[in-house]
Each structure stands twice: as structure tokens, then as C-alpha cells.
Amino acid sequence: MQRLSTLIIDDEAPARLLVRQYLAAFAEFIVLDECADGVAAVAAIRKHQPDVVFLDIQMPGLTGFEVLLQLEQVPAIIFVTAYDQYALEAFNAGAVDYLLKPYDRIRFEQAVRRLLAQPAAPNAGLQNLLEHLAAPAGHNAPTYPVRLFVPHGIRLVAVPVASIRWAEAAGDYCTIHTNTGSELSNLGITALQERLDPQRFLRVHRSTLVALDAVLALERDGSGGYYATLEGDHTVRVSRTYAEVLRPLLG
């Protein structure tokens, strides 16, 4: 049996001990380390690359939210909190599990079994929450995340939006091409488009989305569309439907 490596992060020693005691009933987990503040938590997560983290929200140094925003790879998270009703409402809306202190063994086991029931994919609610937190604070104008998160097994991996050059549909999902490589996203091409700033990204085909600053040249295809040459000497088709929208945006 492959065991899930685990960290326990909470500024209260009794709270960490309780997680250890309750977790001992599950042979699927192995606890690697504990942390009592947010700064140590970031270092420990980067060092151990755990599968699962029990994460407090209100901590010295960095909050649980701030810890997550420091990470390039985000493990499966079970949040632990003594209060903060706003956060609980956000978790409920996004289906992110949490343990509200004081919790009992039954509630703890519910959270753990929910995680074990779907160990191969990150919680979609956590993915949505991270992208919401990664969006700059705005007033009336829409805001868009500066990082997207794609599943890698049980973890989520951050993809800086500024690094995205283009994306293509891959069935119900899409492949995001960055200036360092490619990532398979669990979003469809339309859902990805909705997460990105339309002033910076444009749909050029029903299956293709490009970053405007990655387009180097346009060549007419003879049927009302274009071939767009992107950074890295990659070429994508611009269908006639989108051609007249793209050309003025490139100046």
C-alpha cells in the first residue's frame, strides 16, 4: 500500500497532537513533520513535497491562505480553523473540506475519508479558491488570476498566467503551452478563456486560444482567415470568424 506523506501545520501544539492521534487510525498516512507558523510551513512543504497537509488558517508569520500562495505545487489540503466565518462560507461554496475547531473524531474521519475517496485528483473547490486568491484585488473592474492551477496527481501545480503563450483543446480538457513547456489542464478551452483577461488573450479558433503578445506575424490563408506565427516558431490557424477581431488588436 502506498502511503500518503502528510504535514500537520497549526500554531497550537494540542491541535497538532489531536490530528496525529486521530490520523493514527488510518494506515494510509505517514506524518513527516509538524510546523507552528506560516513561514516554517512554506519551507517544510517545499522540502517534503507532501501529498496531504492539515493546514490551520490563522497563524503567526503567514496565514494558511498566504502559505498556499507561496507554493509552486499545492498538495491536497484539509483546512483546520477555530473561527473565520467568511473562510468557512468560501470553503462551503467551493466544496473545500475543513475542520472547524473543536471537532470530534467522527468529523475528522469524514474529512479524511472524503479525501481518500478521490485520491487521484485535487479538489476542484481548492483549485477555484487558489485562483480567486491569486487574482489582484480590484474595485469595479473584473479581476483575473495571475496564476492558474493544474492537477498533477493529488497535487496542484501553479502556472503563471504571464508565461502562457497559447492553449489548444484536448477533448474535454486543454493543453496550456507556456514559455517553459506544456501542462494539461482539467479546464475546457472555453472555461480557460473565461479565466483569462480578454485584453491579453484571444480565442482565434474554436479549439485555440493565444496570448496576444506571443503573436509575431499573420499570414492570410486565402479563405478569409490567417496563419499566426507565435513565439517559438509555432503556427496556429486563425479562423475567419475570429480573424477580423484579431488583426486590429495587434496594431
- Asked if residue 150 and residue 103 are part of one domain, the reply reads no
CATH number reported for the structural domain that contains residue 84 in this entry = 3.40.50.2300
| List of the chain residues with pLDDT < 50 | 93-95
- Asked if residue 208 and residue 180 are part of one domain, the reply reads yes
86-107 pLDDT, tens digit each: 566 556 544 457 888 999 999 9
Domain end: 112, 130, 148, which one?
130
Domain end: 130, 151, 167, which one?
130
Q: The dihedral of CA 65, 84, 94, 49: what is its sign?
A: positive
The answer to whether 36 and 10 are in contact (CB under 8 A) is yes
Q: Which residues contact 120 (CB under 8 A, 6 or more apart)?
A: 153, 154
- Asked if residue 197 and residue 125 are part of one domain, the reply reads no
The rounded distance, in Å, linking the Cα atoms of 246 and 10 is 50
- Asked if residue 41 and residue 125 are part of one domain, the reply reads yes
What pLDDT, on the 0 to 100 scale, is given for residue 214?
93
What pLDDT, on the 0 to 100 scale, is given for residue 112?
92
What pLDDT, on the 0 to 100 scale, is given for residue 36?
97
What pLDDT, on the 0 to 100 scale, is given for residue 94?
45
115-152 pLDDT, tens digit each: 888 766 666 677 777 887 777 765 566 688 899 999 88
Domain end: 130, 151, 183, which one?
130
Domain hosting residue 159, numbered range: 139-249
- Asked if residue 222 and residue 121 are part of one domain, the reply reads no
- Asked if residue 143 and residue 116 are part of one domain, the reply reads no
- Asked if residue 215 and residue 107 are part of one domain, the reply reads no
CATH number reported for the structural domain that contains residue 177 in this entry = 2.40.50.1020
Chain-centroid distance of CA 99 in Å reads 21
First to last CA, the chain: 58
- Asked if residue 102 and residue 73 are part of one domain, the reply reads yes
What pLDDT, on the 0 to 100 scale, is given for residue 95?
42
- Asked if residue 96 and residue 164 are part of one domain, the reply reads no
- Asked if residue 148 and residue 122 are part of one domain, the reply reads no
Q: How many domains, the chain?
A: 2
- Asked if residue 110 and residue 12 are part of one domain, the reply reads yes
- At position 207, the amino acid (one-letter code) is S
- Asked if residue 50 and residue 21 are part of one domain, the reply reads yes
